[in-house]
Amino acid sequence: MLMTKERPKAIRTMRGWAIHVLQESGAIHECEEHGWAKDRADPHARERALHLARQEPPDGLSPDEAVAELQDVLESIGDTCPECLP
């Protein structure tokens, strides 16, 4: 019971962490109108985000896992806001 409750929470937290790191480094930004995360397609910002993840992985993740999590989240983010499209 506790296990099934905690797992999705942990995943949300990791995703939240990854989005935070990506925003901090400027790799993604939020649509001002709708709040969707958008990929800025900036390779330097991505480098910074990956570097940050490697230097300061969240609790429970190794540096490699933290980088993999970041890349996962990056892949799931488009470069446009879905609600801004016509």
Contact residues for Zn ion (CB under 5 A)?
A: 31, 33-34, 81, 83-84
Q: Give the Cα separation of 61 and 81 in Å (integer).
A: 30
What region, left, alpha or beta, does residue 25 occupy, with left being phi > 0 and alpha being psi -120 to 50 degrees?
A: alpha
Q: 8 or 35, CB closer to Zn ion? A: 35
Shortest Å, Cβ 19 to Zn ion: 16
Q: Give the Cα separation of 10 and 3 in Å (integer).
A: 10
Shortest Å, Cβ 32 to Zn ion: 7
Shortest Å, Cβ 11 to Zn ion: 25
Q: 12 or 34, CB closer to Zn ion? A: 34
| Whether 53 contacts 66, CB under 8 Å | yes
Q: 33 or 75, CB closer to Zn ion? A: 33
